[in-house]
Amino acid sequence: MRAFIKIKKHDLHDDYQQLAQRIWEIKTPDPWVNHLGANEALNALSDFGFGIMPSDLNKEWNKVKVHWNAALIYIHETHNKNVVVVYSEFTPELPFNQKAFYNLVAHLAEALDGVISEDDQTSWISLANFQRKHHEIMSANFNELLTESIEIGKITDPVDEPDFDKLSYDIYE
């Protein structure tokens, strides 16, 4: 999964722990969040990735195919300083991670006054249209989505996001 956000502001003041709880809508206090980068990287929109440990939230997760454990969501700047990309390793993601992905994109678009592209920057939509399009998954109950994800993950192998290796958009080229 991937989405681009064309931003007008560059000031983000988020804590990755709190942001994780918000986008996955986890009610457990202080869940462990796997992360690549610190709050500084997140707020600079430079090179940040994070995910939760579903096994901490539902013991049935141990029945899921092991490759699903690598499912992080990434934020990275692009060659255009006014565009960031949010992407994940798999397409499609399991439902619990789809929820977080769409909520993260919406959060960034709102916080940074942005518009969103889900078609590799061919067209752009407003935050309101994005939220209407993905409302069902964004507002779904996390625990129900995690249970559904476990059932899917038991029988389905993840499929790598096409061109995942190109999505890090090496800005130093």
Could you report the average pLDDT of every consecutive run of 10 residues in the chain (173 residues)? 95 95 91 93 93 94 91 90 92 95 98 96 97 98 97 94 65 39
Distance in angstroms (rounded) separating the CA atoms of residues 12 and 15:
10
- Residue ranges covered by each domain of the chain: 2-165
- Check residue 17 and give its pLDDT: 95
This prediction's pTM = 0.94
- Check residue 102 and give its pLDDT: 98
List strands edge to edge, sheet with 73-77.
33-36, 47-52, 73-77, 83-88, 2-6, 115-117
- Check residue 45 and give its pLDDT: 92
Distance in angstroms (rounded) separating the CA atoms of residues 130 and 97:
17
78-92 burial by CB neighbour count: b if 16+ within 10 A, else e? beeeebbbbbbbbee
